[in-house]
Structure 1
Amino acid sequence: MGFYGILLCGDCVYDNHLITALVERWRRETHTFHLRIGEATITLQDVALIWGLNVDGDPIIGTDVSCKFSVWQDYCYDWLGFMPLQADFRSNSLKLTTLYLHCTQTIIDDNSTDVEVAQYSRCVAMLVIGGCMLPDSEGCAVKLLYLHFLQDMRKVRSYSWASAVLAYLYHELCSASVSGKQEIAGPLYILQIWAWSRMIPLCPDRLGYSLIAQPENENNGDNILPIPPYGARWKNVFTWTHTPTHSVRIIRDVLDKMGDCQVITFH
């Protein structure tokens, strides 16, 4: 499906103060962060490098419709392999806890049919989409709209998931930058890794470095798993001894004083 890189990256603890300081400098008119040295923003290249998502391909677009409870039940039974209860839905979204419990209680082995494997894979993909790629403000449900793009397993990786992630992040940054807004949704993992990678004063020290690479199988090259993306190298223990963290005031001061030589750019 093309989501393997996200699984290798795992999750990280968000520095809410860093996110807040970045949101304060976000300008909706230009979709950029305004810094003393100029403007900067996260791009499709950053999303592709950090998570290894596909950039080219068909866009992730559709109409977020509301259906009767029984219709959603049948839809989930056909494509996910189980029928959720009414309490498992939030309007046109399905709770992530319901998907997680189904995955932990379902056994996939050599005796499983292709249909069962496909249904289980869609459940895992929906967990990745709703929990990491396109989460809501509470991070507890995933829109069933995305299940439409998982129906044909052969086409999933052909969609431009990186574009969907970036567009959603831009939308949430614009929404959070409005006066009075107190929360933000979206793929904040991408935003934090981008800030750590581009702005030297904000980058924590890694206490270890490891990448899980799949050894080459000379007998069957088709089974080689992809090389972990850039974001996987941040799956370590950090220390903030020389880095400001958990203080909006200090991070604001660092951003105000940051010079050209302290920002990493690629051409």
Structure 2
Amino acid sequence: MSRYGPEDPSVLHYQHSHISRKAWAGEETTSFNIRRFEGHLWEIDNHHRRVIDYVCIFGLGGVLFCGKALDVDHALITALVERWRPETHTFHLPVGETTITLQDVQVLWALRVDGVPFTGNGYCESGWRGLCEELLGFYPLQSEMKENGILASALIHRMMIEPLEDGLEDEAYIQRARMIVLVLLGGLILPDGSECEIPLMWLTQLRDVEAASMISWASAALATLYHNLCEASMGKRTDIGGPTMLLQLWVWERMPTLRPDFVMTRIHTNNTPCALMWTGSFMINRASKHSVRHYREQLSLLQNSQTPASR
């Protein structure tokens, strides 16, 4: 690090408990554990075309089209957390401040920016298992439930053993689409500390397809990411949730010196999420993987030409 502490303590008033103190003291930071769970979702390659259509209507088609999510580089995320400031919701870099924005979320994952907030209802008069039977098409076993949530593995298992055929009622395809949406939300976009439990309060907001299509998924994803970065930067946990994969894609897109080298040329086609460009074979050859110290140094050496415009 080129400087040892904030120049103006009156602005960064959380410094006394910020995780960056370890870096300035020359201490090693243990990489955060990344909380996410999509299980075997990406092994299902026979989703019915009408199910995919409904996932797109719900607004998560862009994430699904990106295919199997890449592995998250724990060391890179950890080094970024050290640079995150909860006072400003920005990464503090030698060249200035920057942050991931709603536009970035929309471009990378094609999630809707404007619209209604994603909240859900924490109370279900018919009971959560009854709600699953109504909106997901099956009555889950007690072992598949956890408090007011359902295990992602239960949804994935159901999709794997019960492929849908042609000629079914629309509701059958909508129910299956809701399963995919829940797994994407709970496992990749909005994962929390449970890693594999999906809050069923979310399902209450997926009842009406058209209404759900108006949800601002990008806002939900970004707010969750900001919250988790703030919690982690204050040393309150050893793991981190939220869409860390999205953050990694943003860094690769915006900071060339931190991205891996791809074996194949990245190609982007019109009307597709930019995250699609980062799928495929790649290799990291600038330093040993999982090195927080390496990423610290790379972030300290950033120049204006190697970063997004300061915000």
| TM > 0.5 | yes
Runs of 4+ in 1 over 3 A off after TM superposition: 62-65, 209-213, 242-245, 264-267
Q: Is the alpha carbon distance of 1:49 and 1:16 closer, same or farther for their aligned partners in structure 2, counting shifts above 3 Å?
A: same
Residue matched to 1:76: 132
Residue matched to 1:117: 173
Q: Distance in 2 between matches of 1:261 and 1:111?
A: 55
Residue matched to 2:206: 150
Residue matched to 1:253: 297
Q: Distance in 2 between matches of 1:109 and 1:75?
A: 24
Q: Distance in 1 between matches of 2:70 and 2:194?
A: 16
Residue matched to 2:36: none
Q: Distance in 1 between matches of 2:93 and 2:288?
A: 17
Aligned length: 253
Q: Give the superposition deviation at 1:117.
A: 1.4
Q: Distance in 1 between matches of 2:297 and 2:88?
A: 23
Residue matched to 1:106: 162
Q: Is 1:229 aligned with 2:273?
A: yes
**What code does the residue aligned with 1:256 have?**
S
**What code does the residue aligned with 2:189 have?**
M
Q: Is the contact between residue 178 and residue 206 of structure 2 (CA under 8 Å) also seen in structure 1?
A: yes
- Give the gaps of 5 or more residues in structure 2: 1-57
Q: Give the superposition deviation at 1:45.
A: 0.4
Q: Give the superposition deviation at 1:211.
A: 5.8
Q: Distance in 1 between matches of 2:219 and 2:193?
A: 20
Q: Is 1:88 aligned with 2:132?
A: no
Q: Is the alpha carbon distance of 1:103 and 1:163 closer, same or farther for their aligned partners in structure 2, counting shifts above 3 Å?
A: same
Residue matched to 2:65: 8
Q: Is 1:134 aligned with 2:187?
A: no
Listed one character per residue, the Cα deviations across residues 28-67 of structure 1 (whole Å, up to 9, x for unaligned) are: 11111111111111000000000001001111124545x6
**What code does the residue aligned with 2:92 have?**
H
Listed one character per residue, the Cα deviations across residues 2-35 of structure 1 (whole Å, up to 9, x for unaligned) are: 2111012230011100000001111111111111
**What code does the residue aligned with 2:178 have?**
R
Q: Is the contact between residue 200 and residue 264 of structure 1 (CA under 8 Å) also seen in structure 2?
A: no
**What code does the residue aligned with 2:66 have?**
C
Q: CA RMSD in A?
A: 2.1
Q: Distance in 2 between matches of 1:13 and 1:171?
A: 22
Q: What is the TM-score of this pair, normalised by structure 2? A: 0.76
Q: Distance in 1 between matches of 2:103 and 2:178?
A: 26
Q: Give the superposition deviation at 1:265.
A: 3.4
